[in-house]
Amino acid sequence: MTENILKLNKISKTYIIGNRKNAAKAQKEIQKLHKKYEDVCARNDARCKKETESLLEQAQALFSKEKYEESYRLITGKAIKPRAKDRGAVVHALDNVTLEIKKGELVAIVGPSGSGKSTLLNMLGLLDAPTAGLIYLGDLNVTGIKNKKLPEIRSKDLGFVFQSFNLIPSLTALENVILPLKYAGASKQRRREMAIKALESVGLGDRLDHTPNELSGGQGQRVAIARSIVNSPAIIFGDELTGELDTKMTKEIMELIQKLNDKGQTFIIVTHNPEVAKMCKRTIYMLDGRVEKDQLNRKS
Ligand SMILES: Nc1ncnc2c1ncn2[C@@H]1O[C@H](COP(=O)(O)OP(=O)(O)OP(=O)(O)O)[C@@H](O)[C@H]1O
Ligand SMILES: [Mg+2]
Instruction: Report the percentage of the chain scoring pLDDT > 90.
Output: 64
Q: Are residues 40 and 173 in the same domain?
A: no
276 and 135 in one domain?
yes
Q: Whose CA is nearest to atom 17 of ligand 1?
A: 118
Burial class (CB in 10 A: 0-12, 13-18, 19+), 175: middle
- What ligand has the least distance to the C-alpha of 114? 1
**Residue 63: domain span:** 21-85
Give me the number of domains the chain comprises. Answer: 2
Task: Render pLDDT for 235-272 as a digit per residue (tens, 0 to 9).
Answer: 999 998 888 778 888 898 899 999 999 999 999 999 99
4-19/87-102 β-pairing: antiparallel
Q: Is 100 within the bounds of a domain? A: no
Q: Give domain status of residue 16, yes or no.
A: no
2 pLDDT exceeds 60?
no
Pick from 106-120, 192-206, 237-251: least confident: 237-251
Looking at the CA of residue 119, tell me the nearest atom of ligand 1: 18
Average pLDDT over all residues of the chain: 90
One domain, residues 110 and 197: yes
Region of 104 on the Ramachandran plot (φ > 0 left; ψ -120 to 50 alpha; else beta): left
- Whether residues 253 and 218 fall in one domain: yes
Examine the domain organization and report whether 72 and 114 are in the same domain. Answer: no
Domain of 290, CATH number, reads: 3.40.50.300
**pLDDT one-digit tens code per residue, 56-104:** 999 999 999 999 999 999 999 999 998 877 888 999 999 999 999 999 9
With 0-12 / 13-18 / 19 or more C-beta atoms within 10 angstroms meaning exposed / middle / buried, residue 147 is: exposed
Q: Are residues 281 and 136 in the same domain?
A: yes
Residues 212 and 139 in one domain: yes
**Report for 44-48, 84-88, 143-147: range of highest mean pLDDT:** 44-48
- Judge if pTM exceeds 0.75: yes
122, part of any domain: yes
Q: Are 147 and 72 in the same domain?
A: no
Decide if 250 is inside a domain.
Answer: yes
- Measured in Å, residue 187 CA sits from the centre of ligand 1 at 41
274, 154: one domain: yes
**Same domain flag for 50 and 125:** no
